[in-house]
Structure 1
Amino acid sequence: MKAPLVAFLRLAFSLLTLGAMGWQLAIHLGGGYSIINFFSYFTNLSNFFAALVLLFGAIQFFARKETAGPGDLLRAASVVNMSVVGIVFAVLLRNVDLGALLPWVNFVLHTLMPCVVVLDWLLQPPTAKLGRRQLLQVLVFPAVYLAYTLLRGSSTGWYPYPFLNPAHAGGYGGVAAYSIGITLTFVFAALLLFAIGNKLSKAPAAASHP
């Protein structure tokens, strides 16, 4: 796919996502809900980050910068997070009551954007080979998020997802089981996307990161 079209699509999907999140945030705040809770959803954080990564890539192209887009590590983190957002929603949350979440916003955040970000990764693979160090760096944010969610939930009684709430997951044993399963999903998604990205990358083996 030609670079101008890729840049335009990145801009369009970035603005669509930011608009969807802004619309939902306005409804959220209008209902008296906490803005901290809104940004305590992994889906919202991941979509916001993905939208910024796409936007940055589009801006760089239209500004005629020499670099092709945002750094490989940022794109790698975005694609891994968004792929897991799509998987977890499809497996664990598709039939869960999502409250005031608008159906079209739900579609954009949980279905459309995961597909868009993965497709962007495939069409524009990383410029350099990615290795173990980058893999570990990508997995830092999900680990920190999980720790934050469990610690905050234990003190406030509010959890963004039912499978992380001991009252709905069969106690802390259930939470641990879900956490392990999701962690393995992150690792598998990262390994698969890194392998595909490295295979599609035109960078020579000598440019590979350690």
Structure 2
Amino acid sequence: MKAKKARLISELSVLSLSLLGVVLQLSLSKSPSDAIAQFSYYTLQTNLIVFAVAFANVVFDGRRQESPRVDGTLRILTGGSVLWITVTMTVFHFLLSGYYRPEGLALIANSLLHYITPTAAVIGWLLFEEKSSYKSFYPILWTMYPLAYAVVAIIRGSFTGSYPYWFLNPADEYPQGIGSFANLIIFILVVGVAFVLAGYLMILINRLSLHRKR
């Protein structure tokens, strides 16, 4: 019972932090169109996904033991959301933080979206995700979303001339872009492989977890 309450507190914390970060970031938009444009960013999308998954875990927790389908779906979404938000933190820290130095409320929003929420999600996953609960094909599924995101962003950018991140922009040289389509393809392939490997690392960590079945 104590473990279940602790898990609930963890899920509610992640839910609250992700929602606060998204709302604060959107409140800083200069116009409605600017707010809408925020939804094209991987950062905002992954924080919204983490919010939705935490909400689903809270709402449907009681049905997990009754329905293997519900349990399996939540495990896929939970693992995926943790992987995606971890990449949000990692990519921002190593590839983007040098170009963005926010202050005031923007600094708080940035910290929530890129560091605090991802860290809370990872800690909750490490502490409460059931041991040996992931299938070997999950990492392939988890890679579909970031690859789809990249493809859509590139296609959209080729028409609008605006890319959400410099490493998805093949039209301009570094630091405005990645330099060429060849560089872009290499980058996507490397990132895709990294996602799959990170997914299998998550499975390994999960199997070594001390947390048993509820």
Q: What range is the shorter-chain TM-score in?
A: 0.7 to 0.9
* Aligned ranges 1:125-140 → 2 under 5 Å: 125-126=129-130, 129-140=133-144
Change (3 A) 1:135 1:32: closer
Q: Is the 8 A contact 1:84 1:185 kept in 2?
A: no
TM-score by length of 2: 0.81
Counterpart Cα distance in 2 of 1:25 and 1:184:
32
Q: Is the 8 A contact 1:169 1:175 kept in 2?
A: yes
Aligned match for 2:198, one of 189, 196, 206: 189
Q: C-alpha displacement at 1:172, in angstroms?
A: 2.1
Counterpart Cα distance in 1 of 2:181 and 2:202:
31
Instruction: Show the counterpart of 2:64.
Output: 67
Q: C-alpha displacement at 1:58, in angstroms?
A: 2.8
Moved over 6 A (4+): 98-101
Instruction: Show the counterpart of 2:68.
Output: none
Counterpart Cα distance in 1 of 2:159 and 2:143:
25
Percent identity (aligned):
25
Unmatched 5+ stretches in structure 2: 66-70
* Aligned ranges 1:1-210 → 2 under 5 Å: 2-28=3-29, 30=31, 32-33=33-34, 35=36, 37-60=37-60, 65-67=62-64, 71-97=74-100, 102-126=106-130, 129-166=133-170, 167=172, 168-200=177-209, 202=212
Q: Is the 8 A contact 2:132 2:206 kept in 1?
A: no
Q: Is the 8 A contact 1:8 1:58 kept in 2?
A: no
Q: C-alpha displacement at 1:199, in angstroms?
A: 2.9
Q: Report SS of the residue matched to 2:115.
A: helix
Q: Is the 8 A contact 1:79 1:114 kept in 2?
A: yes
Q: Report SS of the residue matched to 1:170.
A: coil
